[in-house]
Amino acid sequence: MKVNEFSLMIGGEAGEGITRAGFLFAKACMRGGLHVFGTNDYQSLIRGGHNFYVARISAEEVYSQADFVDLLIAFNAETIQLHRTELASGGGIVYDKDDSAVNDEFIGRKDLKLFPIPLRKTVIEQFREQPLLKNAIVLGATIAIVGYDLGLFEKVLKDTFKAEVAESNIKASRIGYDYAKNNFADDFEYRLKKKDSVDKQRIFVEGNEAIGLGALRAGCKFYAGYPMTPTTGLLHFMAANERKYDIIVIPPEGEIAAANMIAGAAFAGVRAMTATSGGGFCLMSEALGMMGMTELPVVIVMGQRPGPSTGLPTYSAQGDLRFVIHAGQGEFPRVVIAPGDIEECFYETMRAFNWAEKYQMPVILLTDKYLVESQRSVEPFDINRVKIERGAIITGQYTEQEEYKRHKITETEVSPRAFPLTKGAIVRTSADEKDEYGYTTEDPELTTKNADKRMRKLVCLTKELEERGIETVKFYGPEDAQATIISWGSTKGPLLEAMKLLSRENIAVNYLQIIYLHPFPARKVAKILGTAKKTIAIEHNVTSQLSSLIRDNNLRDVDHKILKYDGRPFNPGALTQKIKEVL
Amino acid sequence: MKVNEFSLMIGGEAGEGITRAGFLFAKACMRGGLHVFGTNDYQSLIRGGHNFYVARISAEEVYSQADFVDLLIAFNAETIQLHRTELASGGGIVYDKDDSAVNDEFIGRKDLKLFPIPLRKTVIEQFREQPLLKNAIVLGATIAIVGYDLGLFEKVLKDTFKAEVAESNIKASRIGYDYAKNNFADDFEYRLKKKDSVDKQRIFVEGNEAIGLGALRAGCKFYAGYPMTPTTGLLHFMAANERKYDIIVIPPEGEIAAANMIAGAAFAGVRAMTATSGGGFCLMSEALGMMGMTELPVVIVMGQRPGPSTGLPTYSAQGDLRFVIHAGQGEFPRVVIAPGDIEECFYETMRAFNWAEKYQMPVILLTDKYLVESQRSVEPFDINRVKIERGAIITGQYTEQEEYKRHKITETEVSPRAFPLTKGAIVRTSADEKDEYGYTTEDPELTTKNADKRMRKLVCLTKELEERGIETVKFYGPEDAQATIISWGSTKGPLLEAMKLLSRENIAVNYLQIIYLHPFPARKVAKILGTAKKTIAIEHNVTSQLSSLIRDNNLRDVDHKILKYDGRPFNPGALTQKIKEVL
Amino acid sequence: MVTIKDLNTPKKNTWCPGCGNFGILSAFKGALVELGFEREQVVMVSGIGCHGKINDYVNVNGFHGIHGRVLPLATGIKLVNPDLTVIGFSGDSDCYDEGWDHFCHAIRRNIDITLIVHNNMILGLTTGQATSTSMPGFKTKSTPFGAIPPALNPLAHALVAHGTFVARGFAGDPKHLQSLIVEAVRHKGFGYIDVFQPCVTFNYLNTYDWFRKRVYKLQDEGHDVTSREKAIEKSFEWGDRIPIGIFYKEERPTYRDNLTHIKNTPLTKVPIDDVNINSLLEEMK
Amino acid sequence: MVTIKDLNTPKKNTWCPGCGNFGILSAFKGALVELGFEREQVVMVSGIGCHGKINDYVNVNGFHGIHGRVLPLATGIKLVNPDLTVIGFSGDSDCYDEGWDHFCHAIRRNIDITLIVHNNMILGLTTGQATSTSMPGFKTKSTPFGAIPPALNPLAHALVAHGTFVARGFAGDPKHLQSLIVEAVRHKGFGYIDVFQPCVTFNYLNTYDWFRKRVYKLQDEGHDVTSREKAIEKSFEWGDRIPIGIFYKEERPTYRDNLTHIKNTPLTKVPIDDVNINSLLEEMK
Ligand SMILES: Cc1ncc(C[n+]2csc(CCOP(=O)(O)OP(=O)(O)O)c2C)c(N)n1
Ligand SMILES: Cc1ncc(C[n+]2csc(CCOP(=O)(O)OP(=O)(O)O)c2C)c(N)n1
Ligand code: SF4
Ligand code: SF4
Ligand SMILES: [Mg+2]
Ligand SMILES: [Mg+2]
């Protein structure tokens, strides 16, 4: 019997509420003191196609989905066909009893438990054709099959839905629960048990929400965003909270408008943000340069998905690293931060606003679909870990003798900001090269000086990051190891899981996660690579862009590259295998 | 006496026809068998400001302007003030006799010849206030001062202008000529003499025109372009030739439209091109990815100017190398070629169309203001050096058994193209990932296969470039040298001049010009750097982007970087100095 | 000449059951048959959105481009080869938000193409947000407190942009829509049809019923298609009665008609192997 | 309250002598004085083109942005701080070509800003190419055989986009223009003024004389500014007589008026040091 180590998959067509079902189940598990990771896989369509959600539940902290499925809830035969090989031996399938396509031969495996349940029939007979209730039925049944606590699930339903909806869901889940209790032997290998005492209340949150929470907490007051997978969820989150948080969330006519609107908002004096994906980022790239030139603080969330072009719009990738570092003509400072997990999504968003304002430049949060659309149970964020730092701002009135100079050349490379309407200060800026007052200029010396000033901001930032010990990289695993894995972004989850697996086999690898990609923490990377026996880069792109950054910054190549660019995340077991192959 | 080694500067306000004047003079010199290089410096405004044109004339081939000015034609006092220190000792100034601001004290140098000429007065009295005729007057005078052939100049006027305009210009130039002959001693140190027999008729052509000629000769049939300095001249050139060459030149509503229009034209089956600068390229970057994804052949001319953002819109820079290599989300093949001189502008444009069609991908010609807006006397282009190669095209009718697959996966990585209206073939493509027929797909294996297919095109291209001995790099100077200079693009001209100067001092350096920046000719670069004693990168940017490419591709840094990013080109002497400093 | 069957493709249709796009698809296929085209003659150009998937469902030449750029793509194709019949399929966000830049300009130029806008008054494929044609007060995930501005009136814009064929169809009446498409394609110049396309999944407001109750046919009421003023007035009719049909129609030279040097020549047929540039080189001497 | 002298800047003016931009500059400065603003209250936002240089010539807050993006920039500034008076300066290519995407949408939203378009019917700063307001047949370096499509009618577009203040001025009549600017700025909502601005260097066709012969003032002829239809009709009047003045004017809630949660609060004044997100975290438990 396997207790509290369970991987559930729910699969079917788009539009069946699969993600929501997974979310409800996961939350019920979390509330019983278990750890949960959940992620979905869907195509770029609204109905039909094939969708699935996987939830991994464990007594220990989990960082990614598993390689195998212990229980498959299949809303159609296709789901079984597509995923039967992923089922663990001794696993089970929950499906509609009346689905005539499904039979032993179709399933083709003898090592599985089958849990046929009357689904459509129940929906038709008892719920006047509310098809989404079949989710509650199967989840109720699942809870019975794994011996979990139905009460916790009912409570989640109550907290999530309006009373009426909650009620019919509860009713449906009980039907499923009772049916399973009555019809199946109580011998399923996998069990979920709630912890007797739940030490810490966790939250179940996805990357987009964590970024949104970070932005709200950081005081973001203006959000302009045109929908684009995978960051559309962030738009929805911000829009939903517009009134509660006294902010403005405006739906613009496109990404060019979005970027220029937040530039305007930043100039006027508030923290402003937008989010997009590759195509939208292309359209923002001209405004990005303007922000660099006019020294505006903004935060841009970039959610990667497989390109080129529209590519696989609902899948995940890491193909845009070099692109975001170099986008926009000319050379100007920017920060590129790639959070690797839900917590980093929150804290790095808060930091992003600080760097943006302190150094007056755009900060890009480089994420991907797998990160921002996956959920994990985590400890509630420490809202005080990152303090608000706004840099040099002239508040009240400007009283200096000399006229206010928006682009004053100072020793710290930062020109104190005044916002329009500051008594005594005229605030002038230009996307053209300009003098300290903001008047345009074509003077060669001033041009050189300004370019130096702008680029030196990165030097100052690098210094501050080092001096304050900001974790621009993180290091996991034993110092002495057979190999050092280097990666960035969402590969972190499967990698941490893979390291667990490797250590079970007594294979010691360590792992360098690079969070700040630009400016590149070359010194720290050099130090760790200096002692590494063998280096392995793990990325979701074709050309191993991180290796290219390392070559460029550290003059050494990474020994092995494990690259996957089919839109799907690594599974920990498969990744372990790949790592072992190059060890 | 210095014969046929002469540097002329004409300076004044914008709108005075200074560039045109320089052009006329230069052409007259060229027709006398002399070599000429000409370039202009102007601000982003239409009238006023300060403009100047410099022409360097020599018996030998010249590649750039000189450090010093031998004769300054100053249309106003400001010009003298700004450039007096650049005048060579023994040089002269031509200016308006009636400009009361100019006197010995104002000029402040005793080592110069002064040539005051009645300009405004003559224009008013003799030419009913046609102010532009003052150009002809001063040029006539200049010809007298340097003892050149007025007949050649008159012929240029006749060939350039309509009869009536030519006539008044000729009249004006004669007035200037006679005035100078009568009023100034015949002892100016600098002399221009036409060659007795002009061996070869050269052409005087600027970079934009050379690219335009290359495009026309290559069979470009569709040009869409929104004006943007410095490539506006190319737009004008193409538009002027629309009717003569049976092409379409359409002024679109912006760069996004331009890029998508040429994508459509390429899909329909013709060679298509656009040109822009950084800001416009940003806006095109989304379509660029689409071209990569849909395997469309197009040529994009990118004219760099100092950024970030609008920066110094009428000056020159090389800050966009990394940007154009990485622009667009995801990873897709593209070629980036940086011609370094007028001839390369022509030949590489012709090649660009070939690579685009053979490998079905966008090709970027990376130029800059200094290259495309400077002129040089060169031998007429060899129109047969680069043959038209269109790659695999299905002409007439498609007759294969299997249905036509626009994106067929083949051994050569290239899928033969059919154009819409090819009997028997349905041509389908998509910016989404797709199967061989062009239907969208989200299949992981196909995604991987297609990504590999697309990226392998660069491998095949690299192979072809090597096998055919295409000059992806050029090497100048002695093999055994104190140092190897590495550069790309328009720095070539001043560098070749600097090498002349260095060799006069018996300092041997050699020079590796990288023409193909992407795919990077790493093997060739490695070979040359392998034996280099000391390496020096020369670029017009802040971060030495070429060095970064070399680090990335060759795992070695360049020893010294000589960087200039004030919008102005290197002068050969100043560059020589810088090189000597690091030797 | 093509039959409906020839037009089918092996791709599984993934639009939501009942989606208005089905009406557009069948009207379009019907129109191609009625027009008597060969498959090779036709090029579909589509944007990104639910509408854009139509490219996978009709077996003619097709370019599924990026979001918002149907018109410049189609312009490039048509100008280069006027023998092709080029038909654009765009969405309300694709055409009136992201791609708004191009709409009025392509119309002004009178490029000889057809544009069909699947106007479901919502961003469908991104799971339901307000677009510029969403009605004020419309609550979506991007506008949980209601869309704010008055809806864009794309027909009026087409009319004041000197549109030469301006029509509106309803996906719930595919026969009528088919006749509009046939006329638009036959029209020499830019044939524009905005189509009410109910999104059964996200647009809870502008449903089939909502439209059925309101739409009426201009051509049933003797509307004068030669009066631009009348057409503009009609384009603002919105409420209990909403007109569909042809609002305005006029003959005016197309962009290509003005390119007298190439007339109807497909540029794909102009040889390029030995273009003579000598006279230009000569001028530079 | 500001005086003309306060508004001067040390920058040398580089417009061509006689350029229509001078008329706009003086009208604008005059309007600021007439309106009695303090310099700190006003933000100028300008695009790229000859027009965009105006930022250097008026001593108030200013953002000289990139080409075509005056309106989204100005929108961001105004929404964040409604206490500012935000005035956009754009060119015909800046606003009606490159920036066309934003024009109709900003107008629909009724953002409470003013937009002055320096319409010289040419790309000035890039040395003279045709724009969408250039007249058909107009020969420029980009259209050596004459511009092809009919000119865009921006006023008509503003009107059908539910514009609440639509006017046209003439740089050759700065006094009249000044009165338009004053009204537009006072107007609560989007105040739009297209200004005929002769480009004396490149536009050989639409000269001061050309305009002077043709323009007449709507307000001299008892034009009814409350009728949108009448205004649209007038916007198409082009030939011997061309109207200037206010075409249309209406009161309608601005975008910000709809944001009832923040009413007139400048967001710059909302404290951010301790935003409470606990209830959101609680919901996620
Ligand atoms: C540049 C860019 N921005 C955003 C997106 C994301 N996106 C996909 S479809 C879509 C719009 C869908 O709306 P609409 O055009 O009305 O089409 P519908 O789905 O309603 O048919 C968007 C914004 C994209 N693909 N490209
Ligand atoms: C994205 C981009 N494309 C092109 C340009 C080049 N450019 C500079 S000014 C200008 C347009 C000028 O025309 P208009 O807006 O009418 O202004 P005017 O000079 O006539 O006042 C253009 C296209 C640019 N700066 N940015
Ligand atoms: S989401 Fe709406 S528009 Fe898209 S397929 Fe479904 S019903 Fe149609
Ligand atoms: S080019 Fe035209 S618009 Fe520009 S400053 Fe000169 S006259 Fe004015
Ligand atoms: Mg839509
Ligand atoms: Mg203009």
What percentage of residues in chain C have a pLDDT greater than 90?
99
Query: How many whole angstroms separate alpha carbon A341 and alpha carbon A372?
Result: 9
**Ligand 1 atom nearest to CA at A280:** 1
Using CB atoms, which residue from B49, B227, B239 is nearest to D14?
B49
- Asked whether D200 lines ligand 4 (CB < 6 A), one says yes
Q: Which residues surround ligand 5, an ion (CB under 5 A)?
A: C 91-92, 120, 124
Give me the pLDDT at residue D61, please.
98
Query: How many whole angstroms separate alpha carbon D144 and alpha carbon D147?
Result: 8
Chain A positions in Cβ-Cβ contact with residue C124 (cut-off 8 Å):
46
B358 vs C: CB within 8 A:
no
Instruction: Say how many Å lie between the first and final Cα of chain C, rounded.
Output: 56
| Interface contacts (B, D; CB < 8 Å) | 79
Residue A227: closest C-alpha in chain C: C126
State whether A226 and C12 contact (CB < 8 Å): no
A513-A516-A519-A522 Cα dihedral, nearest 10 degrees: -20
The residue whose CA is least distant from atom 1 of ligand 4 is D124
pLDDT at A47 over 90: no
D48 vs B: CB within 8 A:
yes
Confidence of residue B412 (pLDDT cuts 50, 70, 90): confident
pLDDT at D142 over 90: yes
Could you read off the pLDDT of C8-19 as tens digits, one per residue? 999 999 999 999
**Fold adopted by B473-582:** Rossmann fold (3.40.50)
Confidence of residue B413 (pLDDT cuts 50, 70, 90): confident
Give me the pLDDT at residue B373, please.
98
- Asked whether C173 lines ligand 1 (CB < 6 A), one says no
The residue whose CA is least distant from atom 25 of ligand 1 is C67
C160: nearest Cα among D219, D225, D103: D103
What region does B391 belong to: left with phi over 0, alpha with psi -120 to 50, or beta? Answer: left
Contacts with C, A 487-546, CB within 8 Å? none
A46 vs C: CB within 8 A:
yes
Measured in Å, residue A122 CA sits from the centre of ligand 5 at 35
Reduced to 3 states (helix: H, G, I; strand: E, B; else coil), residue B7 is strand
Confidence of residue A26 (pLDDT cuts 50, 70, 90): very high
pLDDT at A163 over 80: yes
Measured in Å, residue A253 CA sits from the centre of ligand 5 at 13
Which range of residues forms the domain containing residue C131? 4-283
For residue B274, the ligand closest to its alpha carbon is 2
Could you read off the pLDDT of D169-197 as tens digits, one per residue? 999 999 999 999 999 999 999 999 999 99
- Asked whether C62 lines ligand 1 (CB < 6 A), one says no
For residue C19, the ligand closest to its alpha carbon is 3
Could you read off the pLDDT of B237-248 as tens digits, one per residue? 999 999 999 999
**Fold adopted by A204-378:** Rossmann fold (3.40.50)
Contacts with C, B 409-448, CB within 8 Å? 419-432, 438-440
pLDDT at C1 over 90: no
**Ligand 1 atom nearest to CA at A254:** 3
Name the domain count of chain D.
1
Contacts with C, A 196-225, CB within 8 Å? 225
Could you read off the pLDDT of A365-424 as tens digits, one per residue? 999 999 999 999 999 999 999 999 999 999 989 999 999 999 999 988 899 999 999 999
What is the average per-residue pLDDT within A462-467?
98
Residue A41: closest C-alpha in chain B: B442
What is the average per-residue pLDDT within A327-338?
98
Contacts of B54 (CB under 8 A, 6+ apart): B7, B8, B9, B10, B22, B38, B39, B40, B41, B65, B66, B69
What is the average per-residue pLDDT within B296-320?
98
Give me the pLDDT at residue A526, please.
98
Measured in Å, residue A340 CA sits from the centre of ligand 1 at 28
- Asked whether D196 lines ligand 4 (CB < 6 A), one says no
**Ligand 1 atom nearest to CA at A282:** 1
Contacts with D, C 105-134, CB within 8 Å? 105, 108-110, 132
Reduced to 3 states (helix: H, G, I; strand: E, B; else coil), residue B340 is coil
C270 vs B: CB within 8 A:
yes
- Residue B92's DSSP bridge partners are B71, B113
The residue whose CA is least distant from atom 26 of ligand 1 is C67
Taking the whole predicted model, whether its pTM rises above 0.80 is answered as: yes
- Asked whether D122 lines ligand 2 (CB < 6 A), one says yes
Average pLDDT score over chain B: 96
Could you read off the pLDDT of B327-348 as tens digits, one per residue? 999 999 999 999 999 999 999 9
Residue with tokens 């739940």: A198
- Asked whether D99 lines ligand 2 (CB < 6 A), one says no
Chain D positions in Cβ-Cβ contact with residue A266 (cut-off 8 Å):
76
Could you read off the pLDDT of D42-67 as tens digits, one per residue? 999 999 999 999 999 999 999 999 99
Query: How many whole angstroms separate alpha carbon D148 and alpha carbon D173?
Result: 30
What percentage of residues in chain B have a pLDDT greater than 70?
100
Top CATH class of B2-199 equals alpha beta
Measured in Å, residue B291 CA sits from the centre of ligand 3 at 28
Residue D67 C-alpha, separation from nearest chain B C-alpha, in angstroms:
9
Confidence of residue A127 (pLDDT cuts 50, 70, 90): confident
Q: Which chains touch D (3 or more CB pairs under 8 A)?
A: A, B, C
For residue D202, the ligand closest to its alpha carbon is 4
- Residue A547, CA distances (Å) to A576, B549, C275 in order: 20, 13, 46
State whether C17 and A47 contact (CB < 8 Å): yes
| DSSP assignment of A27-95 | HHHHHTT-EEEEEEE--SSSSEEEEEEEEEEESS---S--SSEEEEEESSHHHHHHHGGGEEEEEEEEE
State whether C126 and A232 contact (CB < 8 Å): yes
State whether C152 and D97 contact (CB < 8 Å): no
- Asked whether D16 lines ligand 4 (CB < 6 A), one says yes
pLDDT at B224 over 80: yes
B556 vs A: CB within 8 A:
yes
Confidence of residue B181 (pLDDT cuts 50, 70, 90): very high
What percentage of residues in chain A have a pLDDT greater than 90?
94
Could you read off the pLDDT of C221-268 as tens digits, one per residue? 999 999 999 999 999 999 999 999 999 999 999 999 999 999 899 999
The residue whose CA is least distant from atom 5 of ligand 4 is D15
pLDDT at A198 over 80: no
What is the average per-residue pLDDT within D72-95?
98
- Asked whether D51 lines ligand 2 (CB < 6 A), one says yes
pLDDT at C215 over 80: yes
Residue A284 C-alpha, separation from nearest chain B C-alpha, in angstroms:
8
Residue A250 C-alpha, separation from nearest chain D C-alpha, in angstroms:
10
B309 vs D: CB within 8 A:
yes
What is the average per-residue pLDDT within B42-71?
94
| DSSP assignment of chain D | ---HHHH--SSPP-SPTT-THHHHHHHHHHHHHHHT--GGGEEEEE-SSGGGGGGGGS-SEEEE--TT-HHHHHHHHHHH-TTSEEEEEEEHHIIIIITHHHHHHHHHHT-S-EEEEEE-SSBTTTT-B--TTSPTT---SS-TT---SPPP-HHHHHHHTT-SEEEEEETT-HHHHHHHHHHHHHSSS-EEEEEE---TTT-SSS-HHHHHHHEEEGGGGT--TT-HHHHHHHHT--SS-EEEEEEEE-----TGGG-TTTTT--GGGS--TT---HHHHHHT-
Which amino acid type is present at position A355? W
Confidence of residue B219 (pLDDT cuts 50, 70, 90): very high
Confidence of residue A468 (pLDDT cuts 50, 70, 90): very high
Domain boundaries, chain A: 2-199, 204-378, 393-470, 473-582
**Ligand 4 atom nearest to CA at D203:** 2
Q: Is the dihedral of CA C34, C40, C45, C49 positive or negative?
A: positive
Most D CBs within 10 Å, among C92, C108, C155, to test the D interface: C108
Using CB atoms, which residue from D39, D102, D272 is nearest to A426?
D39
Could you read off the pLDDT of A481-490 as tens digits, one per residue? 999 999 999 9
**Ligand 1 atom nearest to CA at A229:** 6
Choice from A16, A42, A45, A47 to test ligand 3 binding pocket (greatest atom count within 8 A of CB) = A47
Average pLDDT score over chain A: 96
The residue whose CA is least distant from atom 6 of ligand 2 is B228
Give me the pLDDT at residue C64, please.
98
